[in-house]
Amino acid sequence: MTQANRLNSGGRIDRSTSFTFTYNGKKYQGYKGDTLASAMLANGIDVVARSFKYSRPRGIIAAGAEEPNAVLQLGASEATQVPNVRATQQELFDGLVSSSTNGWPSVDTDVMGVLGKIGGNMMPPGFYYKTFMFPESLWETYESMIRKAAGMGRAPRERDPDTYDTMNQHCDVMVVGAGPAGLVAALTAARGGARVIIADEQNEFGGSLLNSNEPLNGKPAVEWVQEVVAELSQHENVTLLPRSTVNGYHDHNFLTINERCTDHLGDIAPVKKVRQRMHRVRTKWVVLATGAHERPLVYANNDVPGCMISTAVSTYINRYGVVPGNDLVVMTTNDYGYQAALDWAAAGRNVVAIVDTRETSTGERAQQARELGLNIMLSAGVIEVQGSKRVTSVSVAPLNADGSQVVGSITKLSADTVATSGGWSPVIHLSCHTGCRPVWNESVVGFLPGPTVQKQLTAGGINGQYETATVLKEGLAAGQQALANIGLVAADVVLPEVKTLSLTPPMSLFHIPHIKPTSQAPKQFVDYQTDVTAAGIEIACREGFEAIEHVKRYTAMGFGTDQGKLGNINGMAVAAKALNKSIPETGTTIFRPNYTPVAFGAIIGRHCGALFEPKRFTAMHSWHVEQGALFEDVGQWKRPWYFPKAGESMQQTLNRECLAVRNAVGILDASTLGKIDIQGKDAREFLGRVYSNAWAKLAVGKCRYGLMCGEDGMVFDDGVTACLGENHFVMTTTTGGAAHVYEWLELYHQTEWPELEVYFNTVTDHWSTATITGPNSRKLLAELTDADVSNDNFHFMDWKQITVGGVPARVFRISFTGELSFEINVQANYGMAVWEQLIDAGEKYGLTPYGTETMHILRAEKGFIIAGQDTDGSVTPYDLGMGWCVSNQKPFSYIGKRGMSREDCVRDNRKQLVGLKTKDPKQVIPEGSAAILDPNAAMPIPIEGHVSSSYWSECLGHSVAMGFIKDGLNKMGDTVYYPLADGSMIEAEICSPIFYDPKGERQNV
């Protein structure tokens, strides 16, 4: 297949390496070194998209990040689909598959063409607000319609096969942009001994130097670039990041960079390689050398394929060896626009005319054009182009001195390409990210970075400097300033020699007038991606939107994925003209991260799949897995939920596990409970202040249950604390509450009571805990220890240091099931050894492993609360019927004491925790059910409370539930009703929450 627009020589492409790529199902050829856009232009592909509102054919306008139209869908398979890829930034690789994202069935034969015209009329500026927000109920319908019409690409429906990751970087100087300014700045900083990172979005360093034929030191500029890159590569403290877009500049000189490591190699990254990498950079100083984007001019039908910005034309010719047409008309307001014509002519194609809006142009580029005999039309503008899928002709007309009016007759020229230059827009996006307001500069006709609080330096195009010699000097100055700022000695760099061309000042002109008023002229596009026209902005202003932010939102200008890189300044100029204000008076909107769209994968990095969230395991986890346990997430822990045997339902398993504990012995892995070692002479005093109950008299060798409240008097955690020595305790917390309790203790110690001599250490992971519980638990324990574990010697709520299965252990005789229980704690490296011995020895006693669900049932049978399930931050110990666990006799106050005495906490009719016994014993009230007193009451029925815990109790042969009822403790024996979603009603009697062994005899045996 021929590449009709490809030159035979020149450019930075490798003509010996040919790549095949697919666009909209058709195969084409390009070369290594091409972007997708340059390869498409080489093949004469004019139409790359259909526009958002009007469905107009659109072509490639630019050659870089600012491209609004060539935003394509990539991917050879469903899993590798990538939306929002700018063809101008995507390097070509063999086998690349791309398609346009809007236009159906294709951009060339578009069935929406007619609809587009209707759609355009139906979608005046402000359609989001005027049309689609009302009625609100239809918004979803509108939205899907708009999305389909907009067609901005789609996410893959299958899992992305590639990996992404993140790298943290630190440096002294972060240089953004590796054009002439950035390279010199980086070289200067590197020679001065600074740690430097230099990043550039292009595949190779050089920036604008890659696109021009301007020599440095009398040699091709790229030779100088190669010398600088070679030296930078030699510096140990310099990191070079090509293909890396600095997408965000955040507070405290933190920058985020998206490196496309392998996007240029294929549809899927090579095996084991990372596709994209997010660099998170913390730097002392930033040098923004981001350059400038050329502004297109706004004229009638300026979106017809073939209309481009002039630098893009030069770039395609010089860098890619592609001339994107045959007959060129250039329209410019400045000297730089002439370069496209010079390059076009050098490529041997026809320059029809250079249309300069200024009255004179005596600069050297203009002189070169005159020497070549090119046709220069001064004081004129291209007011309109003709054509549908490609420019066929242009209308040129004389303009008055300020370019506001057409003042003569139209000349029609035959051309297929129009290159325009309205001057430059410095790339100030990153500086805007940190809140720096841009400032209009009249002489450079553009917004420059304003004052900043960041440690930010700028150099080159971003400062409105476009002559290479000046840009290089600014890079040197920025590098030296950065060195000085970090206290390093200034280094010198000899700048390459470059000829400075004389310039005629640019004209401040954005919107080319038409013979008709803007509202009646053919569409003059300002923002291509969102189809905002000059007429649309004028309507917005006429309708009273005066602030540029409002104009932006009303018209959607700058809302596209390109953030209006090409269009925003022109839009502001059009608005300023309509409002009869100056551009600085009109102001500008600013930019936010990210500079260009970033794949979600690059943001999430490796934190996905198995690594999405840490999973915490106990020392016995592999045993649980082997036994076929199902697991429950408790915080980050994986706790065994229940251990089903083959063929068992969940309820059958739970019934079996519960009966085993009540009648024989069960074993639970309780290692996940939080454990905090507390030492110091004031440990006991501290406990008294953070728990609601008393600790003064807890003897060495004893354990006690405690409730922990917030300042508001509401329970937030509970657990058993043991006195290990006079000044030594170990506290247990809930599994999920461990970290919070530990921080809570440290917080109060460090901020409120630093005078207390106490130290806290978390030992959750250090101890493995095997809880054996049930009537046979003592027999089992006795078998594995020489110690006397009889009831006479080892009392309920005692702990002992004994040896279990040959392993030194702390055994706590405490119970969460109401049965005789021993919690065996051993150093976790020996947890499995003890567990396995217990399992072996326990077989003859009917030892049954159980999980959290059975634990929940057994404790509910006993009316024991679970903090976080039966508490929700709104219940005091009294509300739980646990006033016995509050001591108001302590000499020092405790956290929550004052909160509990607030008026609202001591009033009548608070919700209180009670037991609930269903009238039909087989019915289990769903947890969360709301209680009502009168099932026949008129709507809305007052809610009296809710159910917090509810289970089937196989041991009791009926359901058990706990829940809150207003004034419940005084309503024992009353009936409450729980209406269910299906319309039925469960009737229950209010009772004590202790359903099983109310006298508590079983745990004392």
Partner 1 sequence: MSDQTQMTAAQSAATKAAVMNQVPGADIAGQSPLHHADFATLAEQGQKIGGIHLCEHKLLGHLTLRCNPNNPEQLAAVERVLGVALPLTPLTSVVKGEYSIRWMSPDEWLILVPGLATFDIESAFRDEMPGHYSLVNSSGGSTVLEISGDDVLSLLQKSVPVDLHITAFPVGKVVSTLFAKTTVTLRRLDEKRFELVIRRSFSDYVWLWIQDASLEYGLVIEV
To partner 1, the closest distance from the beta carbon of 606 in angstroms equals: 6
At residue 735's C-alpha, the angle toward residues 729 and 737, to 5°, is 80
To partner 1, the closest distance from the beta carbon of 32 in angstroms equals: 24
Q: DSSP secondary-structure letter at 661?
A: H
Question: Smaller CB distance to partner 1: residue 181 or 802?
Answer: 802
To partner 1, the closest distance from the beta carbon of 929 in angstroms equals: 35
Q: Is the distance from CB of 312 to CB of 87 less than 8 angstroms?
A: no
Pairing of strands 14-23, 26-32: antiparallel
Question: Smaller CB distance to partner 1: residue 463 or 771?
Answer: 771
Question: Smaller CB distance to partner 1: residue 78 or 613?
Answer: 613
Which parts of this chain interact with partner 1 (CB under 8 A)? Answer: 163, 165-170, 195, 237, 272-274, 280, 282, 606-607, 610-611, 613-619, 621-622, 636-637, 672, 677, 679-681, 684-685, 724-728, 757, 759, 761, 763-768, 801, 803, 805-808, 810, 826-833
To partner 1, the closest distance from the beta carbon of 244 in angstroms equals: 15
To partner 1, the closest distance from the beta carbon of 827 in angstroms equals: 4
Q: What are residue 812's phi and psi, to 5 degrees? A: -105, 125
Nearest in space to 171 (alpha carbons), one of 101, 221, 246, 102? 246
Taking CB atoms within 8 Å and a gap of at least 24, the contacts of 998-1001 are 1000/818
CA 46/CA 389 separation, integer angstroms: 7
CA 853/CA 647 separation, integer angstroms: 18
- Neighbour-count burial for 444-473, b at 16+ CB within 10 Å, e otherwise: bbbbbbeebebbbbbbbbbbbbbbbbbbbb
Q: Within 13 Å of residue 563, how many CA atoms lie on the same side as its CB? A: 18
CA 92/CA 735 separation, integer angstroms: 53
Question: Smaller CB distance to partner 1: residue 299 or 760?
Answer: 760
Question: Smaller CB distance to partner 1: residue 49 or 720?
Answer: 720
Question: Smaller CB distance to partner 1: residue 552 or 684?
Answer: 684
Nearest in space to 965 (alpha carbons), one of 953, 957, 956, 973? 973
To partner 1, the closest distance from the beta carbon of 279 in angstroms equals: 9
Scan for tokens 């509990």, then name that residue.
Answer: 900
Nearest in space to 945 (alpha carbons), one of 921, 972, 965? 965
Helix (H) / strand (E) element for 776: namely none
Question: Smaller CB distance to partner 1: residue 157 or 272?
Answer: 272
CA 640/CA 821 separation, integer angstroms: 19
Question: Smaller CB distance to partner 1: residue 619 or 955?
Answer: 619
Question: Smaller CB distance to partner 1: residue 685 or 861?
Answer: 685
To partner 1, the closest distance from the beta carbon of 256 in angstroms equals: 13
CA dihedral sign, ordered 138, 139, 142, 144: negative
Is the bond into 940 cis (omega within 30 degrees of 0)? yes
The 3-state DSSP class for residue 289 equals coil
Q: At what angle do helices 221-234 and 180-191 cross, to 10 degrees?
A: 30
Question: Smaller CB distance to partner 1: residue 578 or 745?
Answer: 745
Q: DSSP secondary-structure letter at 130?
A: I
- Tally of residues, the chain: 1005
To partner 1, the closest distance from the beta carbon of 592 in angstroms equals: 24
Q: Is the distance from CB of 976 to CB of 931 less than 8 angstroms?
A: yes
Helix (H) / strand (E) element for 987: namely strand 985-991
To partner 1, the closest distance from the beta carbon of 947 in angstroms equals: 33
Question: Smaller CB distance to partner 1: residue 746 or 967?
Answer: 746
Q: Is the distance from CB of 459 to CB of 478 less than 8 angstroms?
A: yes
To partner 1, the closest distance from the beta carbon of 830 in angstroms equals: 6
To partner 1, the closest distance from the beta carbon of 801 in angstroms equals: 6
Hey, which residues does 951 pair with through a beta bridge?
960
Question: Smaller CB distance to partner 1: residue 146 or 763?
Answer: 763
Question: Smaller CB distance to partner 1: residue 452 or 762?
Answer: 762
To partner 1, the closest distance from the beta carbon of 457 in angstroms equals: 21
At 652, the amino acid letter reads Q
To partner 1, the closest distance from the beta carbon of 806 in angstroms equals: 5
